[in-house]
Amino acid sequence: MLSFNSMKVLKCFVISILIISCSKDSDNVSDLTDNNNGSGNGNITNSITYQPENYLKDIANFPIGNVVSVNRLNNSQFTDILKKDFNSITAEWQMKMRSIFNGPDNYNFSHGNTIVNFAKNNNIRVFGHALIWHESIPDWLQSFQGSDEEFEELIENYIKATVTHFAKEKTTINGQEVSVVAGWDVVNEAFTTGAENAIFRKKLGSDYVEKCFRWAREADPNVKLFYNDYSLESNSNKTQNVISLVNDFKSRNIPIDGIGLQMHTDYLNPSISIIEANVQSIINLGLLVHFSELDITVNKDRAITTLTYERARTQELRFKDIVTIYSNIPNNQKFGITMWGIKDDDSWLLNHHNNQNEYPLLMDKNYNYKIAHRGFAEGLK
């Protein structure tokens, strides 16, 4: 027979087991409920979605942008989200050479005009992307058989015509009349094998980047001129190439106002310390800094078919860290952060990586705010 003290010990042991069991059951229910809660809430534990209390443009002290196309501007759900969170837009492809340059001195600015007019009507800035990129060359130009001098005249005319055209649409900011199009990626991704072998370098010469910047400045003395590239946050060798380019430009009074770091990054790599070091190298140039195409992959290993809380949470913290890095840039060098898409299934990365189970943006496919958005917002504070 058990003593009285032994019975007390046994009773306490049984109660403890019951409490632990209930606690585990409760945790399991919470996980299931939260991970399937489409509306989300900022205070719900283990939910991959939430409802923001504030929108990004209202928190930031610099422009927050996203990419658009004419088709998406006809989608009211898309534009409602766009106008709430963002005050800068970039044409994803409809202001690139292939969309505009139909033939010698023949330009189609219609899509760009639609985008600029939408921006003007909604007090949104436009960033022009991109005048020269080796992966957006029209077929007729790619097979051009004329002389190098004739080719150079074509490109000079195209750059000047495009920049001049989009400089015409004005808006008023702080009492000052300015162009709706505030800046251009003049040259995109020059430090790549593709660019090295492209027709621009072959026919314009090794100094083609310099020429393009000069022509853009001649067309508009006020627009901000950027060089844009990927992996600048992770590839120190490429970053050094850009630094050398800028220092050379400065020494010879070639116009350049800013550097665009595309920021197509991953939820695990590179390390934040590597990103910080490379970004600081760009900051040290004294130019404007644009995080120009931000997205963060979470499934390069193809290990998941739906977004898990663990990866969503790591992505949230990654957004916070990257946005914090940008927030710490001197105010006079902040041009803004541009996201490369609004909702996951619109991202270019799904096709680029041939992986439909990728979730790199701030909203899910149903326009629910992911906790990635919360991380972005936290980085702004």
Give pLDDT tens digits along the chain (381 positions): 434 344 343 344 433 433 333 333 333 322 323 333 333 334 446 899 999 999 999 999 999 999 999 999 999 999 999 999 999 999 999 999 999 999 999 999 999 999 999 999 999 999 999 999 999 999 999 999 999 999 999 999 999 999 999 999 998 877 888 999 999 999 999 999 999 999 999 999 999 999 999 999 999 999 999 999 999 999 999 999 999 999 999 999 999 999 999 999 999 999 999 999 999 999 999 999 999 999 999 999 999 999 999 999 999 999 999 999 999 999 999 999 999 999 999 999 999 999 999 999 999 999 999 999 999 999 999
| CB neighbourhood size of 221 (10 A) | 8
Question: 296: which strand partners?
Answer: 265
User: According to the model, what pLDDT value does residue 64 have?
Assistant: 98
Is 293 among the residues known to form the active site? yes
| pLDDT for position 172 | 85
**And the tokens for 135?**
């992966």
Q: Across all residues in the chain, what is the average pLDDT?
A: 90
Contact by Cβ (8 Å): 311, 267: yes
Q: What is the pLDDT, as a whole number, of residue 9?
A: 37
Residues whose CB falls within 8 Å of the CB of residue 274, separated by 6 or more in sequence, listed in order: 233, 234, 236
pLDDT in tens, 15-64: 343 333 333 333 332 232 333 333 333 444 689 999 999 999 999 999 99
Which tens digits make up the pLDDT trace of 57-94? 999 999 999 999 999 999 999 999 999 999 999 999 99
Sign for the pseudo-dihedral over CA of 304, 309, 310, 311: positive
Q: What one-character-per-residue DSSP string does 246-272 give?
A: HHHHHHTT----EEEE--EEESS-S-H
Q: What pLDDT is recorded for position 270?
A: 96
User: Of 92, 210, 233, 293, which one is the catalytic site residue?
Assistant: 293
The predicted pLDDT at position 45 comes to: 62
The values of phi and psi at residue 143, to 5°, are -100, 20
Question: Has 189 been annotated as catalytic?
Answer: yes
The domain made up of 47-380 is a member of CATH 3.40.50.970: no
Query: Is the dihedral angle over the CA atoms 54, 58, 61, 62 positive or is it negative?
Result: positive
CA–CA gap between residue 282 and residue 41 (Å, rounded): 37
Residue 339 sits at the vertex; the CA angle it makes with 166 and 242, to the nearest 5 degrees, is 75
Active-site pick, 189, 210, 233, 358: 189
CA distances from 30 to 20, 171, 308 (A): 15, 50, 14
Residues of the chain with pLDDT > 90: what percent?
Answer: 86
Beta bridge partners of 337: 64, 291
201 class by beta-carbon count within 10 Å (0-12 exposed, 13-18 middle, 19+ buried) = middle
Residue 255 confidence (pLDDT): 98
As beta bridge partners, residue 227 has 187, 259
pTM: 0.87
Tell me how far apart the alpha carbons of residues 49 and 363 are, in angstroms, rounded to a whole number: 8
